[in-house]
Structure 1
């Protein structure tokens, strides 16, 4: 067959629809291998599913249950690469699995699974799992419910506290290789020539300007929205069968553990977590079939009640009520559409690169994928793109390549040097390293250019005005929401950044050319964006009324 080569009419080799973690990883890998790439997203990078995950980079212990050894091996390898290539963002994370009488998975079976997991992770983990006796549990985790407690196992996985930053760094690296990333740009249609897909037409959400991106290959990496992109243009069976996952965020509660607890819910046998995260706790997650509006995903009351009830059961001293929820986060897992499944946990968490050829050559759709395996997914997609283009295969560079925030010969040495030489408090310096890695130096450089940029814009975190400038100038932020929720992460604190929002908008007025009208519009837009989190600060008056009713 004749391969369509990039002709003078094509803008690029590859157009990617979707700037979530997978779309960005594809852009980074493809651009690193010399392809001309454009990514288009109707919102900010990582603002869809990527920002609603459990923030775990996990070796895939859960997938052993389904004998999905390929996915477990891939997950363990990718976790290992992230420890090496993003040490500022991905950390070792011990998890305790308590065994209770009546659990659907007997302790012996879980221990067997952990032993298999340890063997698969030899040389690629942070220590083997170990059994924990009832006596050790009583000493080390005294607040765990002892009713029917038979023992436990402790194993090592990994956490990425700021998954949003993983997306930002993929964006930075993709751009370093020459990829163009257009955010707040909506794909209005696929360009078709006969049956062939030859790129996308898009519209800039703010200016309304229309643009046509002609591409030799188009990759639909829109996560749960992949079917919406194809709808009405490309005849295809339904590809996405995403399930809804919700989490709640609470302050430390009586008896809260200092380790992640991974346990089986009594209500439906689903494995769920209670885990420490940045001074607070995340409880999650649910796994519900979802056919509603993908743009209006919020955690429902029943999901919140379920997570609180299960946490109260396993920590009898917790006494959590809906009034304790600081905010909730809900998203749709981009899973393959699967019919006749009684248990959503049985739906594969692997990814596939679906070619629409021969019916629609030039178009690939990415089905599935998860935070942990984004790099491997991108490698698979880029290999396929090169095949479709008829190019000679080129070696993937992303296995060895550190992310921009880890671009140093010795991460440990850099950390110690930065902590020693930084003019900030220890806590501020630590936070900068955790968010920006070696690029923390860039924050200090910007802060040194103007006294007002060295000012703190958010008391609780110690975030600096310079970070607002960095977010917009270097990191692709456009809106106040981008700055607070996906760059500085100030918006993920207990009040969701509402106290800091005006100060950050003010920095943008003074240093980034916003006028007062723009600042007002951004503050209003930010309030609107927060509604899907159902934050307590916005609903405080309503919950106050209901708690008045509850008091006897």
Structure 2
């Protein structure tokens, strides 16, 4: 156990103004905002920070072009405003991403409707730093995208949204911001039951997943931001019988560049059902998807099914006929469940993406549950939640996070910082650039640890340049407590084509020395990581490795 975790566990006996259950992007945003306004806050998650739905998205920071069809104008404006905030306040993690929207005769929406949507998108983002959209005719579109299907092509629009390549790192930085503001942050800590007295939630019993110890936590107010697990948090308390979450399943496939692959992201309508799909350049590969299916299964083991894989590949091959993608081309897939409000009937695409604050009164006081929420709008959602909590606690204060930046944000901009850091870090330039891309200005802190001794400067993974000091930094400074934490959500090796398998043994060795694991625990951690990888349905080049999982 680390010094930080020891301290956080010792704080569980304290009383808090606010207990936040759920450490995804939205729960962490609530913890940051509340702590910054002076509330005493504890935020917990049964897994790691951002290890749930926040890690399984399309990794877009976007206004929600498709929401215009549902006339959710307020949601689109809010999303576009938060997109701009992230581009300015976390530019090391969030970058502009150009999209092409092709117009086809057989589209569910006429090209004039799509062009009108583009104009409205620009109007609603009047304060943006990104360029406005441009429209191209059939010839101009074909010239720019020669591999695009020509059958029925009428033209296209070029517009801009943004991408967060490492959504996991976004969550880690929001956690760090919350911690700096004074919040107590404890991952791998599960709420195993809310405590109720006289019709009011007074806290929760919290189980330390790493030790099995159960702690009683007292809080004046509790916010359930557990995403698709929100109903599970409410089990065994008189919160009303109404089901809150009706999650839908979204699957993405990761493939290498393919014949005819576009140099820009594509946002297009599926021929089979008119749903929006995407082909997105991502970390030198392509992210294609996603699906939108109702899901009632095990949230912790959800993964792609054959129907989804066939659907995504078929539609991608229709858009780019020379691609000829097959299941054998898939490096891996990942699947998440959107925490949407429960709606028993209708198309999944018709369910609102706007977040809802569910007040459990009169059944229970002292409790709010958050339904829905997007990666893009975590800051606005948090402001909404903390405004409500403050009113209920008699602590009305103004939100300040709109004026704040995330901890890794470089004031001089990512490009200028990367150049100066590469020159001063003492590391090979590719390694320095990788650290700057993942940590922003905090890369200097990582480099300080790496340069502290020959052992910490030892290269652990030659392919990426990962050094022992970065792993130690992840444990000591970023609350990594398991092998999966380090590989999947700190060093980001878990997103490489082999999902970090080739580095697993060497990384586990460093973790064992830092966290005090014996041989049995080290093997248990590796087994747990292999089990975690089952969700990815990855193409495994090593049959012996496959047999071990």
Rounded to whole Å, the distance in 2 between the matches of 1:21 and 1:467 is: 23
Matched, 1:115 2:119: yes
Aligned residue in 2 for 1:491:
494
SS at match of 2:540: helix
Rounded to whole Å, the distance in 2 between the matches of 1:449 and 1:10 is: 36
* Counterpart among 292, 295, 298 of residue 293 in structure 1: 298
Aligned residue in 2 for 1:280:
285
Rounded to whole Å, the distance in 1 between the matches of 2:479 and 2:47 is: 11
* Offset at residue 83 of structure 1 (A): 0.7
SS at match of 1:261: strand
* Offset at residue 427 of structure 1 (A): 2.6
SS at match of 2:107: coil
The answer on whether the counterparts of 1:323 and 1:543 sit within 8 Å (CA) in structure 2 is: no
The answer on whether the counterparts of 1:33 and 1:396 sit within 8 Å (CA) in structure 2 is: yes
SS at match of 1:332: strand
The answer on whether the counterparts of 1:165 and 1:435 sit within 8 Å (CA) in structure 2 is: yes
Equivalent pairs counted in the alignment come to 534
Aligned residue in 2 for 1:6:
none
Matched, 1:500 2:503: yes
* Offset at residue 409 of structure 1 (A): 5.7
* Counterpart among 180, 184, 188 of residue 180 in structure 1: 184
* Counterpart among 399, 402, 405 of residue 408 in structure 2: 405
Deviations 1:471-496 (A, max 9, x none): 11100111110100111110110000
Matched, 1:30 2:51: no
Deviations 1:497-537 (A, max 9, x none): 00011111122234443333322221111111111111111
Aligned residue in 1 for 2:419:
416
Aligned residue in 2 for 1:455:
458
* Counterpart among 90, 103, 106 of residue 99 in structure 1: 103
Aligned residue in 2 for 1:549:
none
Aligned residue in 2 for 1:144:
148
Rounded to whole Å, the distance in 2 between the matches of 1:271 and 1:256 is: 18
Mapping of residues 50-199 of structure 1, within 5 Å:
50-199=54-203
With over 3 angstroms needed to count, the CA separation of the structure-2 counterparts of 1:410 and 1:96, relative to structure 1, is: closer
SS at match of 2:51: coil
Deviations 1:92-113 (A, max 9, x none): 0000011112110111111110
The answer on whether the counterparts of 1:125 and 1:156 sit within 8 Å (CA) in structure 2 is: no
* Counterpart among 217, 222, 236 of residue 218 in structure 1: 222
The answer on whether the counterparts of 2:92 and 2:409 sit within 8 Å (CA) in structure 1 is: yes
SS at match of 1:537: coil
* Offset at residue 138 of structure 1 (A): 2.4
Rounded to whole Å, the distance in 2 between the matches of 1:515 and 1:72 is: 51
Rounded to whole Å, the distance in 2 between the matches of 1:322 and 1:437 is: 36
* Counterpart among 470, 478, 498 of residue 467 in structure 1: 470
Moved more, 49-58 or 201-210: 201-210
With over 3 angstroms needed to count, the CA separation of the structure-2 counterparts of 1:460 and 1:268, relative to structure 1, is: farther
Rounded to whole Å, the distance in 1 between the matches of 2:53 and 2:540 is: 24
Matched, 1:246 2:251: yes
Matched, 1:338 2:357: no
SS at match of 1:366: strand
Matched, 1:265 2:286: no
Rounded to whole Å, the distance in 2 between the matches of 1:245 and 1:287 is: 5
Rounded to whole Å, the distance in 2 between the matches of 1:451 and 1:141 is: 50
Rounded to whole Å, the distance in 1 between the matches of 2:426 and 2:545 is: 43
The answer on whether the counterparts of 2:199 and 2:364 sit within 8 Å (CA) in structure 1 is: yes
* Offset at residue 538 of structure 1 (A): 7.2
Aligned residue in 2 for 1:527:
530
Q: Give RMSD over aligned pairs.
A: 1.8
The answer on whether the counterparts of 1:469 and 1:512 sit within 8 Å (CA) in structure 2 is: no
Matched, 1:304 2:283: no
SS at match of 1:92: strand
TM-score, L = length of structure 2: 0.94
With over 3 angstroms needed to count, the CA separation of the structure-2 counterparts of 1:10 and 1:485, relative to structure 1, is: closer
The answer on whether the counterparts of 1:10 and 1:216 sit within 8 Å (CA) in structure 2 is: no
The answer on whether the counterparts of 2:193 and 2:235 sit within 8 Å (CA) in structure 1 is: no
Rounded to whole Å, the distance in 2 between the matches of 1:378 and 1:275 is: 28
Deviations 1:8-37 (A, max 9, x none): x97100011111111111001100111111
Rounded to whole Å, the distance in 2 between the matches of 1:490 and 1:111 is: 40
Moved more, 137-146 or 270-279: 137-146
Rounded to whole Å, the distance in 1 between the matches of 2:348 and 2:546 is: 33
* Offset at residue 458 of structure 1 (A): 2.7
Rounded to whole Å, the distance in 1 between the matches of 2:545 and 2:437 is: 36
* Offset at residue 412 of structure 1 (A): 4.8
Aligned residue in 2 for 1:43:
47
The answer on whether the counterparts of 1:477 and 1:483 sit within 8 Å (CA) in structure 2 is: yes
SS at match of 2:456: helix
* Counterpart among 360, 363, 369 of residue 367 in structure 2: 363
SS at match of 1:474: helix
* Counterpart among 314, 317, 324 of residue 319 in structure 2: 314
With over 3 angstroms needed to count, the CA separation of the structure-2 counterparts of 1:296 and 1:538, relative to structure 1, is: farther
Rounded to whole Å, the distance in 2 between the matches of 1:503 and 1:98 is: 46
* Offset at residue 411 of structure 1 (A): 5.0
Deviations 1:234-293 (A, max 9, x none): 224111111000001111111111110111111211000011100111111000011222
Rounded to whole Å, the distance in 1 between the matches of 2:473 and 2:289 is: 32
Aligned residue in 1 for 2:383:
379
SS at match of 1:82: helix
Rounded to whole Å, the distance in 2 between the matches of 1:71 and 1:41 is: 27
